[in-house]
């Protein structure tokens, strides 16, 4: 998305947040389910338009893929062209099944004590001089939602602190920036500092 112009970015973000697109003054709803997956290019490359913090905050997670392991890379080098393999992939679920999973995520219980832990994390980021900006309310909602999904994947109907800790890095990594690194490349993982400094209630 940082290769797109700000006007195009705004249109894509409308689709993400509002689940609709506006063309020549006419608003059209997007199908459900709908979500955006974007790759991120280094911001120092010519021709990029870095997203401001308020727009980055709309992304639920940022996940680092890294390089493939040796076996996977060997498959890339010696195997069939990846684009040809895509044509042979079969879906593992239909839209109805995916929406049912989303409903189940929303039904996972988050106890008051768990929410106390999340609020302690949020408050820590806002009070700490280490961060340029603390977590927003949207970031707090994202953290609880992602933790609910992680709990469901673990076969649990209730969120535990370990679920919050498991998703913390992916949820806050693109939202929190060290005050010393502001305007530069992303520094160390902020989740590590949070986990060290915020105790479980």
Q: Identify the three-state secondary structure at position 22.
A: strand
Kindly report, residue by residue over 95-134, the tens digit of the pLDDT. Answer: 999 999 999 999 999 999 999 999 999 999 999 998 888 9
SS3 assignment for 141-194: HHHHHHHHHHHHHCCCCECCHHHHHHHHHHHHCCCCCEHHHCCCCCCCCHHHHH
Q: Which CATH class is domain 92-197?
A: mainly alpha
pLDDT for the residue numbered 100: 96
CB 6 within 8 A of CB 48: no
- CA angle, 67 as apex, 65 and 73 as ends, to 5°? 125
Q: Which two tokens stand for residue 59?
A: 């992304």
Looking only at the bridges linking them, the beta strands covering 26-29 and 20-23 are antiparallel
pTM for the full predicted model: 0.85
Token look-up 């900006």 returns: 133
pLDDT for the residue numbered 184: 42
CA 105/CA 131 separation, integer angstroms: 30
- Between the alpha carbon of residue 5 and those of residues 2, 8, 154, the distances in Å are 8, 5, 40
In the chain, which segments carry CATH 1.10.8.80?
92-197
Kindly report, residue by residue over 70-81, the tens digit of the pLDDT. Answer: 998 998 898 777
Q: Which residues of the chain have pLDDT under 50?
A: 182-187
Residue 16 burial (10 A CB sphere; 0-12, 13-18, 19+): middle
């Amino acid at each position: 998305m940082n290769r797109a112009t700000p006007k195009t970015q705004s249109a894509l973000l409308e689709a993400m947040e509002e689940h609709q697109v506006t063309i020549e003054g006419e608003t059209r709803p997007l199908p459900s389910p709908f979500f955006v997956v974007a790759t991120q290019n280094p911001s120092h490359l010519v021709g990029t338009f870095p997203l401001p913090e308020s727009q980055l905050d709309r992304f639920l997670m940022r996940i680092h893929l890294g390089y493939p392991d040796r076996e996977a890379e060997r498959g890339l080098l010696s195997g069939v062209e990846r684009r040809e393999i895509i044509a042979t992939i079969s879906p593992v679920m239909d839209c109805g099944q995916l929406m049912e999973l989303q409903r189940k995520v929303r039904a996972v219980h988050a106890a008051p004590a768990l929410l106390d832990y999340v609020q302690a994390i949020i408050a820590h980021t806002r009070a700490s001089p280490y961060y340029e900006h603390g977590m927003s309310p949207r970031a707090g909602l994202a953290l609880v939602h992602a933790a609910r999904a992680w709990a469901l994947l673990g076969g649990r109907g209730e969120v535990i602190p370990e679920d919050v800790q498991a998703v913390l890095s992916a949820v806050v990594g693109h939202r929190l920036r060290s005050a010393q690194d502001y305007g530069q490349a992303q520094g160390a993982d902020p989740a590590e500092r949070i986990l060290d400094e915020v105790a479980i209630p």
